[in-house]
Amino acid sequence: MMEELELVKKTEAEALDAIEKAKADAERIIQKAREKGKREREKMVEKERKKVAESLEKTREKAEKEAREIVEKARKDASALKKRLSRDAEKVADEILKELL
């Protein structure tokens, strides 16, 4: 009877040790899964950051190009206006000279 009791106690201790070991293994696995999940989230965030940065860069480049085109058109328009005003001024000057002569 005493041997059986000791055997039960020994088996119980072994079972408790196995449970503790399994618990530690499970905690380690959970921790690794959390770490892996964190790394994956960080990778996803970094990937999205790069996409946003690329999109911003493309948008900036497009805006700069459009601004250059607008400035160039404004220069051409200003030049054409200057020429037209110059011609108009010459016509007015010619008319004034004709009236004076």
Tokens of 72: 């160039």
8-29 pLDDT, tens digit per residue, is 889 999 999 999 999 999 999 9
Q: Count the neighbouring beta carbons within 10 Å of the beta carbon of residue 66.
A: 10
Domain for residue 40, yes or no?
yes
Domain for residue 42, yes or no?
yes
Domain for residue 85, yes or no?
no
pLDDT value, residue 92: 87
Domain for residue 12, yes or no?
yes
Domain for residue 87, yes or no?
no
- Please state the pTM of the whole predicted model: 0.55
54-91 pLDDT, tens digit per residue, is 999 999 999 999 999 999 999 999 999 999 999 988 88
Domain for residue 80, yes or no?
no
Domain count for the chain: 1
Q: Which domain holds residue 60?
A: 1-71
Domain for residue 61, yes or no?
yes
